[in-house]
């Protein structure tokens, strides 16, 4: 029973980080119809910047703020300097579908090289903002630590903030409208191109947080966020790629499922487990867990 | 003349959809644009609202050239376009669909006042204000899309087939509302319609398009009385 509970809690903590990456991918997909593989690179570069600040100031949260800012700037930059140009030239046909995705892969490689050249390939680490020792309940110590709890709380706060922005502000309304129906939004006076860039910036900032949270307990290297991208993407697909709530729920389910596999089956099966979950969801509910029948577009 | 289109030519790829069209609509007048499918009616509206770029010709609105300006910028100059097919966003609530029309004004108080105004014109929308737009009937969706355009406080309203797919009784209501709004808000309106008779009845001015060209332009009543127009477009 106790093992069950701690597996669940650790899964929640892991899943909440996936949720940020998943959300970042969904935000970009909804507005631009591009699966942004460069998201891992953007998050990594943002995290390196956060790492620099955090290790010099010895304040993790200052590093986190800088990672958010760097992520947002990077995200906006990628849309403004790459996607806009790309969409101007690749207007229709297969090129318009494939070119942006290939471009994000290229960008991922580019950012990785820049990071490698700047910081080298060796593992870096940040001092954790909270204890990584498990909580002690009575006599026993469980693997769930103060850091795990802090991660859950941090993600929760960010998700609440995003929910407020998207549901309660004009910016959020513009973001949603531009994603659902760009032409109608444009005719309503929304500057859709600018709105999309803001969406990329939010996704970038969220990715930066994900990178910093992973790095709070893991080493940082030019490859350390690759797994996060893979699991974030799987979670996004589980959620149906369109739904922000779905992406978060999908990530939590995935995080918990993978932790159960880790604790009850074995370490070696975790990676495969992610894909098993993906395939099961695609077979049972191909439109994602949040799909509720076809939306009428009249 | 508040809207002055001269020698406008628009292409879809190699196909010429609008061919040297010249029309002028005075302030406060309602112009019905009728014609068969493929006559270029929708393309004309999409060009006027900035969604489509003309190949040639000029569009003057209140004395300024507006061809090539983006739709979101034209909204700020008083041009609102209600595109074909009940253009509401089904995932958003009725209130959000309306608010969207006034976001660019960046004035929460004015936005609220405009919502009250729209609700007084279309009380049905008031009853459904918190519902998602995909729960609305066809007629209600049309009210919502017109309502969203009104949220922008337009001076020129471009309406693309508001009667499409609606029951006759609802069509009559929508047409009457369009007529009333034109007068009450001193709007200049371009109304594209397949329902030629219904549109001409409420219009001041009638424009008949065929294969991308203007074939007739006259007082609406004169077109209704014209035997050739009756035979070709009004069906009797």
Nearest CA in chain A to B154: A188
With cut-offs at 50, 70 and 90, classify the pLDDT of residue A292: low
What domains are there in chain A, each with its CATH number? Answer: 2-127+144-284 (1.10.3470)
Distance from the Cα of A174 to chain B's closest Cα (Å) equals 7
Given A173, A184, A186, which is nearest B99 (Cβ)? A173
B33 strand-pairing partners? B192, B207
What is the structure's pLDDT at B236? Answer: 65
Q: What is the pLDDT of residues B133-142, one digit of tens each?
A: 999 999 999 9
What is the structure's pLDDT at A297? Answer: 40
Angstrom distance (rounded) from CA A71 to CA A211: 10
Q: What is the pLDDT of residues A15-73, one digit of tens each?
A: 999 999 999 999 999 998 899 999 999 999 999 999 999 999 999 999 999 999 999 99
With cut-offs at 50, 70 and 90, classify the pLDDT of residue A171: very high
Per-residue pLDDT, averaged over B38-57, amounts to 95
With cut-offs at 50, 70 and 90, classify the pLDDT of residue B37: confident
Q: What is the percent of chain A with per-residue pLDDT over 90, rounded to a whole number?
A: 79
- Mutating which of B80, B91, B165 best tests the A interface, going by the most A Cβ atoms within 10 A? B91
A295 with B104: Cβ contact below 8 A = no
What is the structure's pLDDT at A293? Answer: 55
Q: What is the pLDDT of residues B61-95, one digit of tens each?
A: 999 999 999 999 999 999 999 998 768 999 999 99
Given A170, A184, A297, which is nearest B103 (Cβ)? A170
Task: State the Cα angle at B47 between B45 and B51, rounded to 5°.
Answer: 100
Q: What is the pLDDT of residues B173-214, one digit of tens each?
A: 999 999 999 999 999 999 999 999 999 999 999 999 999 999
Given A185, A187, A297, which is nearest B49 (Cβ)? A187
Nearest CA in chain A to B98: A188
With cut-offs at 50, 70 and 90, classify the pLDDT of residue A88: confident
**ipTM of this predicted structure:** 0.94
Contacts of A298 in chain B (CB under 8 A): 85-86, 88, 90, 134, 138, 141
φ and ψ at residue A13, rounded to 5 degrees: -65, -45
Provide the whole-model pTM.
Answer: 0.92
Distance from the Cα of B34 to chain A's closest Cα (Å) equals 23
Query: Residue A296 above 70 pLDDT?
Result: no
The better pLDDT of the pair A174, A289 is held by A174
Given B72, B99, B148, which is nearest A191 (Cβ)? B72
Per-residue pLDDT, averaged over A190-205, amounts to 97
Q: Is residue B50 a contact partner of residue B66, using CB atoms and an 8 Å limit?
A: yes
DSSP code of residue B231: I
Query: Residue A298 above 50 pLDDT?
Result: no
- By three-state DSSP, how is residue B145 classified? helix
A183 with B104: Cβ contact below 8 A = no
Given B49, B85, B89, which is nearest A180 (Cβ)? B89
Angstrom distance (rounded) from CA A292 to CA A39: 28
A187 with B80: Cβ contact below 8 A = yes
B81 with A176: Cβ contact below 8 A = no
First-residue to last-residue Cα distance in chain B: 33
B103 with A174: Cβ contact below 8 A = yes
Side-by-side strand order, sheet with B213-219:
B79-82, B156-160, B188-193, B30-34, B205-210, B213-219
Query: Residue A76 above 50 pLDDT?
Result: yes
Contacts of B85 in chain A (CB under 8 A): 298
Nearest CA to B173 out of B114, B124, B233 is that of B124
Q: What is the pLDDT of residues B105-127, one digit of tens each?
A: 999 999 999 999 999 999 999 99
């Amino acid at each position: 029973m106790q093992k069950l509970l701690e597996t669940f809690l650790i899964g929640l903590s892991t899943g909440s980080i996936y949720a940020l990456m998943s959300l970042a991918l969904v935000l970009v997909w909804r507005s631009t119809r591009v699966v942004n593989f460069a998201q891992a690179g953007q998050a990594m570069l943002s995290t390196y910047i956060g790492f620099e600040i955090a290790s010099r100031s010895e304040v993790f949260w200052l590093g986190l703020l800088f990672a958010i800012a760097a992520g947002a700037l990077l995200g906006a930059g990628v849309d403004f300097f790459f996607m806009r140009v790309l969409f101007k030239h690749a207007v229709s046909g297969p090129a318009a579908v494939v070119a942006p995705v290939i471009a994000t892969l290229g960008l991922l490689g580019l950012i990785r090289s820049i990071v490698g050249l700047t910081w080298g390939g060796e593992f870096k680490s940040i001092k954790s903002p909270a204890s990584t020792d498990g909580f002690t309940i009575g006599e026993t110590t469980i693997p769930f630590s103060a850091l795990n709890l802090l991660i859950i709380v941090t993600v929760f706060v960010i998700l609440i903030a995003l929910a407020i922005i998207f549901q309660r502000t004009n910016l959020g309304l513009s973001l949603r409208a531009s994603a659902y129906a760009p032409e109608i939004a444009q005719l309503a006076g929304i500057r859709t191109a600018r709105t999309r860039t803001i969406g990329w910036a939010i996704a970038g900032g969220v990715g930066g947080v994900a990178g910093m949270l992973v790095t709070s307990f893991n080493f940082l290297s030019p490859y350390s966020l690759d797994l996060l991208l893979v699991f974030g993407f799987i979670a996004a697909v589980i959620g149906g790629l369109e739904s922000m709530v779905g992406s978060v729920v999908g990530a939590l389910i995935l995080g918990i499922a993978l932790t159960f596999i880790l604790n009850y089956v074995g370490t070696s099966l975790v990676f495969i487990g992610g894909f098993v979950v993906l395939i099961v969801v695609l077979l049972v509910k191909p439109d994602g867990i949040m799909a509720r029948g076809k939306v009428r577009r009249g | 003349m508040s809207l002055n289109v001269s020698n406008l030519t628009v292409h879809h790829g190699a196909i010429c959809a609008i061919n040297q069209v010249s029309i002028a609509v005075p302030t406060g007048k309602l112009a019905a644009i009728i014609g068969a499918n493929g006559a270029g009616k929708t393309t004309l509206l999409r060009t006027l609202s900035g969604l489509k770029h003309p190949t040639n010709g000029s569009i003057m609105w209140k004395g300024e050239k507006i061809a090539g300006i983006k739709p979101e910028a034209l909204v700020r100059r008083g041009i609102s376009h209600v595109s074909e097919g009940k253009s509401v966003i089904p995932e958003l609530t009725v209130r959000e669909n309306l608010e969207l029309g006034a976001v660019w004004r960046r004035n929460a108080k004015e936005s609220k006042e405009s919502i009250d105004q729209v609700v007084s014109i279309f009380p049905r929308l008031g009853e459904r204000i918190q519902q998602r737009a995909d729960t609305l009937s066809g007629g209600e969706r049309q009210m919502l899309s017109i309502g969203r355009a009104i949220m922008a406080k337009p001076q020129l309203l471009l309406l693309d087939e508001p009667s499409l797919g609606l029951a006759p009784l609802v069509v009559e209501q929508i047409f009457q509302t369009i007529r009333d709004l034109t007068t009450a808000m001193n709007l200049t309106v371009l109304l594209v319609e397949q329902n030629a008779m219904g549109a001409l009845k409420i219009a001041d001015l009638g424009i008949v398009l065929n294969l991308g060209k203007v074939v007739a332009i006259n007082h609406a009543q004169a077109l209704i009385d014209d035997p050739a127009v009756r035979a070709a477009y009004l069906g009797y």
